[in-house]
Amino acid sequence: MAIREGKWKCTSCATVNLGRNTQCSACGKVRGADVEFFVDDSEAETTDETLLQKAAGGADWHCEWCGSDNQAAQSACRQCSAQRGTAPSRQQKIILDKNGQTPATGNTGSTPPAAAKKATLPGLLVIAGILAVVVGLVWFLFFKTDVVPVTVSSAGWERAQDVEEERLVRETAWENNVPSGARVLRSWQEKFGTEDIQVGTERVKTGKKDLGNGFFEDVYENRPVYETRDVFKNKVEYEIWKWIVIRTEKMTGTSDMTPQWPQVSLDYRQRLGGKREKAEVNLINDKDSGKNYVYSVPVQEISAYSKGQKLTAEITVTGIVHTLKP
C-alpha cells in the first residue's frame, strides 16, 4: 500500500507545490477545482504518520463560496469559514500504467495489441489499383482467347483401375487414436506436447489512485503465473489389417476409340479399388506448327476426334484451349 505525495502546479504563478498544500507557497492562491495532481513513480513513499493519516482521510472538498480546497475532516472552510453543506469532493480516480491496460489473461508481460490502423482513402485507391491490374493480368493470361485453326496430331484415352490387397501392417499412434480392430504390440511414454500450468499468482503494480487530497496510492492486481511443462502420453505400436493399393492396371487407346476398363483378376484378400479415366486431344497450330496444345475431353467423347482432323480452337495466350469446334 505504497502512498506517495503528489504535486500540483499553481494556475497563477506556475510554482509547483506539494500535494498536502491547499494554497500556493509562493503567491498564496488557493488550490482550486481546476488543479490536477500529478506524481512520478520515482517519488519516495510517504512514511510520515501525519501525512499518511491525511492521505487516508478521504478526498478534499471545494468550498462553494471561495473555491478553496479543504480536508475531508474539516466541516467549515479554512479560508472563509463557510459550512461545508453540499460542497462536492475532489474526484478520486485510478490512473493505469501501460501494463495495467492489458486484461490479465495469463501471459504476464505481454504488450497490449496494437490499435488497428485505419484505412485511408489514398491507401484504398492504391489497393483498388493493384487489384485492377491483377484482375486484368489474370483475364489476359487465362481468359482472353484467339480463334486459331488447328490440326489433331493425336488423340487418346486412358482408364486406370487400382487393385487393393488386405495386408497386416504395423503402425504407431497415440493411445487414444489406436483404431478398433488393432492388435497392440507394445507401448511407451513419449512427449506429446507442452501445456501452461498455473503455478501461482504475482502481485503486479498496474497503476495509481489519485486520492483527491494530494496523495496517490499504488494500485495492484494479482495475476496468474504460468509455467510451461512437457506432457507425456502413451504411444502404441499395433498391427492391423488394411486395404492397400498394390498395383494399378491401365488400358489406353490411340486408334481404338472405344474406351474400356482393364480386365482384372483378383487373388485371395484382393478387391477393386479406385478408378480414374481421361481422354486428351493433342493439337498443332496450323499457322505456327511450333505451337502445340492439349485439350481434355470426357472419355465417351474421344471417338469424335481422329488424327489429321481440322478444327477451330479458342486459345489463350498461355495455351489453354477453351473450346474446340469443327
State which residue, 73 or 272, has the beta carbon closest to Zn ion. 73
Q: What minimum distance in Å lies between the beta carbon of 48 and Zn ion?
A: 24
Rounded to whole angstroms, the Cα distance separating 216 from 39 reads 7
Q: What minimum distance in Å lies between the beta carbon of 223 and Zn ion?
A: 42
Do 315 and 321 touch, CB atoms closer than 8 A?
Answer: yes
State which residue, 67 or 262, has the beta carbon closest to Zn ion. 67
Cell (9 digits) for 236 = 502404441
3-class secondary-structure state, position 50 = helix
State which residue, 24 or 313, has the beta carbon closest to Zn ion. 24
Ramachandran region of residue 255, left (φ > 0), alpha (ψ -120 to 50) or beta?
alpha
Rounded to whole angstroms, the Cα distance separating 62 from 22 reads 10
Q: What minimum distance in Å lies between the beta carbon of 74 and Zn ion?
A: 10
Rounded to whole angstroms, the Cα distance separating 237 from 267 reads 29
State which residue, 64 or 314, has the beta carbon closest to Zn ion. 64
Rounded to whole angstroms, the Cα distance separating 283 from 5 reads 90
Q: What minimum distance in Å lies between the beta carbon of 82 and Zn ion?
A: 5
Q: What minimum distance in Å lies between the beta carbon of 39 and Zn ion?
A: 19
Q: What minimum distance in Å lies between the beta carbon of 211 and Zn ion?
A: 21
Amino acid sitting at position 55: A
**255 Cβ contact partners less than 8 Å away, ≥ 6 residues apart:** none
State which residue, 13 or 94, has the beta carbon closest to Zn ion. 13
State which residue, 66 or 299, has the beta carbon closest to Zn ion. 66
State which residue, 86 or 120, has the beta carbon closest to Zn ion. 86
State which residue, 2 or 66, has the beta carbon closest to Zn ion. 66
Amino acid sitting at position 117: K
Q: What minimum distance in Å lies between the beta carbon of 42 and Zn ion?
A: 25
Residue for cell digits 486428351?
280
Give whole-number Cα distances, 228 to 53, 56, 196, 198, in Å: 45, 42, 4, 9
Rounded to whole angstroms, the Cα distance separating 301 from 297 reads 7
Q: What minimum distance in Å lies between the beta carbon of 127 and Zn ion?
A: 56
Do 161 and 249 touch, CB atoms closer than 8 A?
Answer: yes
DSSP state of 23: B
In 104-254, DSSP assigns E strands to 145-174, 183-210, 215-253
Give me the residues that bind Zn ion (CB under 5 A), please: 10, 12-13, 15, 24, 26-27, 29, 63, 65-66, 68, 77, 79-80, 82
